[in-house]
Copies of this chain bind each other. A is one copy, B any other.
Amino acid sequence: MRVVPWVLATSLLAAGTLQAAPRATAIPDKAVAAATQLREHALASNLGYEITASLTTEVGPRLAGSEADARAVKWAEAKFKALGYDKVWLEEVRFPKWERRSEHASVVGTNAQPLALIALGGSPAGTVEAEVVRFADLAALEAAPAGSLVGKIAFIDHRMERARDGAGYGMGSKVRSRGPSAAIRAGAAAYLMRSAGTDSHRNPHTGITRFDAGLTPVPSAALATPDADQLTRLLALGPVRVRMALDCGWNGEAVSHNVVGEIRGKSKPQEVVLIGGHLDSWDPGTGAIDDGAGVGLTMAAGALIGQMRQRPARTIRVVAFANEEQGLYGGKAYAATHVNDIRKHQLAAESDFGAGRIYAFRSGAPEYAQGAVKQIAEVLAPLGIAHTPGEGGPGPDISPFAERGMAWASLRQDGTDYFDYHHTPDDTLDKIDPRALAQNVAAYAVFAYLAASADGDFGSDLKAVKPPQE
């Protein structure tokens, strides 16, 4: 899960309400009744957990472009078929390949001891032994004068805040994405950060970073939070030298695939409701909450709809996106491939925030469709899901397409614990509560079924927009 700018998408979709005044979108009573049954059936099913267990156990970690990533694509294709999906296909996605080989760090000198750290995705290889200079936050490092850190390791000790909606990750991910460039501008030889995480375990949090154009990248890594504590205590005693050795880096181009499965609609099969998650993961864990759960629960939702006697009018399209973690490559490729079919995309929602219970629902659809959105919200309400217009945006992989004008909805998960495990070795199946996952499956199934059954649309239409900004 990455953070993407929603303000743009939201404002553009709001602007869409100015264009026309179509007939109000509404969902037939019969579909509401069927979705209510589907909800209870899904709540009692273990299918989402079983699919997630299958992916995370049989494939395990699946860094984009790795051998395991290719296995994950084969796994998804086979799983869709085994689940009875009507149509399954792959769409090629190309991206630069980043590899992690090893990483080590230690305090040297009189307090010699190892430190637990992990290279940030995109970091170059390199071994640096230098004095550490601590900054309390990103702004402090960004204010460091040019040349002031020559021969030093810059260390940002920002402590990420815990929040149900993951709000603390806004700054946490900025420290990761912008810190290295700020360090280089000040002349630093390497970059360290306190992990963007809310736990207190020796499992550091990786994630993609980037280097501004014109800068020469330096080795960049995140310390486990207890190690950031330790380094800060040592710095309080006097100068500290750290040796960090990263073996990692870019290595050519990789090919992976978005994997798509469809449950064919009864009367309007060319129109689709899109749900999904991303198939790739960071490498230290098995990608259970990020994003095996998103793949598993949306695959299960589609499969449960496929088993119904009364199919919805439109097709349910489930997408397991490629390489979300390193730059939304799968989501961007999907948007580029399908841009001319944007109006055939009735409504889309992505799950990429773990496996906690969904507590809120909204859609960025125009006013004329909000009656149908409210109908969906009413069937979701018994799951403990509130209708919260104005809060939340689409998931990361559907955001490039949402920015082009695809109608989207948001099913917001409780992420209170998400950043305890996110992008760490600890992102494993045991962190998922099967009952919470079943609630997610029920919500996605209800959502997809009702959106696919609506009379009228949710406002998907191609906008002339500048390309998404990172």
CA distance A102 to B68 in the complex (A): 24
Q: How many copies does the complex hold?
A: 2
Which of A11-19, A30-38, A56-64 interfaces with chain B?
A: A56-64
- A426 contact set on B, CB distance < 8 A: 201-202, 226
Whether A465 sits at the interface, judged by CB under 8 Å, is no
Which residues of A from 42 to 91 have beta carbons under 8 Å from B?
53, 57-61, 67-68, 71
Provided the pairs A202-B428, A203-B203, A426-B202 are in contact, do residues A58 and B230 lie with their beta carbons within 8 angstroms? Answer: no
- A431 contact set on B, CB distance < 8 A: 200
Which of A109-117, A140-148, A357-365, A377-385 interfaces with chain B?
A: A109-117
- A53 contact set on B, CB distance < 8 A: 233
Please state if B58 and A237 are interface contacts (CB–CB under 8 Å).
yes
Whether A433 sits at the interface, judged by CB under 8 Å, is no
Q: For A286, give its contact among B67, B113, B225, B428 (CB under 8 Å).
A: B113
CA distance A266 to B58 in the complex (A): 69
Q: For A57, give its contact among B114, B202, B233, B286 (CB under 8 Å).
A: B233
Q: For A203, give its contact among B202, B237, B429, B430 (CB under 8 Å).
A: B202
Whether A391 sits at the interface, judged by CB under 8 Å, is no
Q: Which partner residue on chain B sits nearest A56 by CB separation? A: B230
Provided the pairs A201-B201, A203-B202, A233-B57 are in contact, do residues A429 and B113 lie with their beta carbons within 8 angstroms? Answer: no
- A111 contact set on B, CB distance < 8 A: 57-60
Q: Which partner residue on chain B sits nearest A425 by CB separation? A: B202
Least Cβ–Cβ distance between A230 and chain B, in angstroms: 6
Proximity string of chain A (214-229) to chain B, C-beta cutoff 8 Å, 1 when within and 0 when not: 0000000000011001
Least Cβ–Cβ distance between A51 and chain B, in angstroms: 14
Whether A285 sits at the interface, judged by CB under 8 Å, is yes
Q: Which partner residue on chain B sits nearest A236 by CB separation? A: B57
- A430 contact set on B, CB distance < 8 A: 200, 225-226, 229
- A60 contact set on B, CB distance < 8 A: 107, 111-114, 230
Whether A254 sits at the interface, judged by CB under 8 Å, is no
Provided the pairs A53-B233, A57-B233 are in contact, do residues A113 and B202 lie with their beta carbons within 8 angstroms? Answer: no
Whether A308 sits at the interface, judged by CB under 8 Å, is no
CA distance A426 to B199 in the complex (A): 11
Proximity string of chain A (88-107) to chain B, C-beta cutoff 8 Å, 1 when within and 0 when not: 00000000000000000001
CA distance A201 to B197 in the complex (A): 15
Whether A234 sits at the interface, judged by CB under 8 Å, is yes
Q: Which partner residue on chain B sits nearest A53 by CB separation? A: B233
- A61 contact set on B, CB distance < 8 A: 113-114
CA distance A424 to B425 in the complex (A): 14
- A59 contact set on B, CB distance < 8 A: 111, 113
CA distance A68 to B108 in the complex (A): 12
- A234 contact set on B, CB distance < 8 A: 57-58
22 chain-A/chain-B pairs, Cβ below 8 angstroms: A53-B233, A57-B111, A57-B234, A58-B110, A58-B234, A59-B111, A60-B111, A60-B114, A61-B113, A67-B112, A68-B113, A200-B431, A201-B201, A201-B203, A201-B426, A202-B285, A202-B424, A202-B428, A225-B430, A226-B426, A230-B286, A230-B428
